[in-house]
A and B are shown apart, each in its own frame.
Chain A
Amino acid sequence: MKLPMEINVALAGNPNCGKTSLFNSIVGANQKVGNFSGVTVEKVEGVTYRKGYKITIVDLPGTYSLTSYSPEELVARDYLINKKPDVVVDVVDTTNLERNLLLTTQLMNLGSNMIVALNMFDEADKKIISIDIDQLEKLLGAHLVPTSAVKNEGIESLLDHIVDLYTGEIEAKKNKLNYSEILEERIEKLTKILNKDKELSAKYNTRWLAIKLLVSDKSIYNLIQKYPVWIKVQNYLSSVFRDFEKKYNSDPEMILMEESFAFINGALKETVTIGQKKALTLSEKIDRILINRITGLPIFAFFMWLIFQATFALGEVPMQLIEIGFEKLGMAFATLLPDGILKSIIVDGIISGVGGVLIFLPNIMILFFALAILEGTGYMARAAFVIDKVMHKFGLHGKSFIPMITGFGCSVPAFMGTRTLKSESDRITTLLIIPFMSCSAKFPVYILFIGAFFPVDQAGNILSLIYLLGVILALLSAKLLKTTVFKGVSEPFVMELPPYRMPTFRSLFMQMWMKAYSYLRKAGTIILLASVLIWIASNYPKNELINLHLTKQVENVQNSETLTEIEKTSKITHLQNQAASDNLAFSLAGKIGKSIEPIISPLGFDWRLGIALVTGVAAKEIVVSTMGTIYALGDTDEESANLRTRLQSDPNYNEAVAIAFMVFVLLYVPCISATIVFFREAGNIKWTLLYLGYTTSMSWIMAFIAYNITKLFI
């Protein structure tokens, strides 16, 4: 039988073993990111060619073991069991074989067609570790290939091994890990029971199932429960557990782990000699400064500040270029195309929509480059370590901190940054509270309203209060979510602090690029569609009478003999602004804004603020310019003195309304782009609905409270 010319390879390994770097070295840019079906665990797939074979490699999520606790482990395991890859490459960190080989023993149990890549072999060399590779190969029953992703060494040899193992040129012995009598006896008995079920034994490796049952693996329990053999299995298992409790005062899980480590230690003793160790490794020296009890927090704060500044201050430059570029493009099209609906859709709808999608790209790229540096060097785990105590008070994980502060800049990259959180409950909680971290697009709204209603000496205090309110609500919401929705789901903080390493530029670049690409492909298209729809809603339907009226009045002004040219222009601008205001009021967005007036009037808002809030769903920057349009002031920004005076002179508005409006803008649904990215990251419509409902109700309640309290003081 001729073998297909395509080899499916899975890359398994511990976190921080250099698996991703190795993957990048193997496949280069030939990779694509997707999701494993049903979960938000990233699936990266790459392709390379060797000896005429097409080798498709899936980079499984990094796991320490193949139990079923974290989604990563479950995904990796299910992939290995159900997809049955032709070859499994187990990437191990040669400088830390003791822990890394645990996964290897579990892959041995699974009976995988395995090659072990001794990654970071060059570093092990430095540490004067010498390994008897032949002997270790015999013990593990798998071929070992020394590799170094950083130095690009051993990659070809690894690919040759993959092809040769696939074609049968070389063989994997597939050693079984033999446990002690007390375990083996039970494993065998259980395997026998399982083998009685023909369907089960045809589909799975029953020895592996037996081992998993002995270590009380929940998902295997659930699997076996579906088979009639379950009753026998259950009876036998409960007798085993009683036995262990009585005889050994332990449980099979503990004993099995002890024996796995004993096997590893025995194998290493036989094959590895470690030379003279330095008193302090470089990592220990760096840690003495970076996470020291005194300097740890200031250094952490500095790095966070640096990331924030880089993402948003440095990002400002390309963002402006994108903005100007698209403005110019729009103007070019405006002169080319004839007036009409088509021109309006292309220029104001599509071109500005694309610009609106691309505008987030600089932030996303810089942030993810910075995050890749943090992860790649090993500081990320330390950052979580340093701040964990504070975050844990509110039920969060130390790693939630970075996405949260990123939220002060923009929710879009912040939402995407939650990917670094491994636990579902931590990630969803962090996603849900990020909107309360006031993003930079809301800033102009605060400036406008504070400037209009509060004296200069109070401005700073009020601005701080608004930001503080957001942070407090975010933390309290986290606590609330952790005690209600995610009650009982406590994420342990058991995390390796990996040795400091210098990441390769290629790896950093690839991570940044994949993030940017997945944003553009997945969120970008929907954001574009949504912004075009919102643009249509704020421009249509059109009332022809308004425009007819405008044309007539403009003619009247131009024909007037008493007015000077300057007076004419100003009059015409005024008329045009008035028409724009009337058009907006007549459009769908305007009608929605007006129709929500009864809902928002308890907050002191009139229909004008309603329209501004509705258009603000497209982007928060639009709130201020919408106010300008409604007041028929033409193009305005938060510094516009005339918009300020208009607000001041409007009898409907006062300090209480201003405060309530700022609170509402702080808390209500972030822009449509953020909402779409949220949906992508949460991976579930249920969470998205909770997010929309929670932010909206919270904003209304808090604005109502703020309005009524402030009214007491004025």
Chain B
Amino acid sequence: MGKYVVVSISEMQLSDNRQDTIITYSLGSCIALVIYDPVKKQGGMIHLMLPDSSIEKDKSKIVPCKFVDTGVPLLFRTLFKMGSHRNNIVVKVAGGSSVMDSTKYFNIGERNYAAIRKMLWRNNIMISSEDVGGSKSRTVKLFLESGKVVISNSQEEYEI
């Protein structure tokens, strides 16, 4: 039986049950990274809050999925452990909004997106599609059967 697998803030979820749908609700400036292996029909999603774990002084308290620098490698490693090969993985990114007319200085959404791009670029991983920025809230779904990633909010719903 398929189910909704919910990803809370600062968490990741993976599944190899092709009937599952992985979902995260209401991304603001947070960013969701979705990775999917169409060969094995398995994948995962992480709901990241901030770019850099170095702000956490007590290293033992670091929640890895909260930060781009610690969360992204963990998500990939977990999918590798489930048997996926890096060449097969499709990567999509969504979120990273900003409050209207907020200054660059506080633009956490943009910083999150920049951190993800930099990390993927360094590791020669391409983003196949994305829906980032703006001032909207996003709910993101990954359908394991098809690999489709669907974004929705109160006004619209579309695939990326």
Please indicate whether A and B come from the same complex rather than being unrelated chains: no
**Residues of chain A at the chain B interface (Cβ within 8 Å):** none
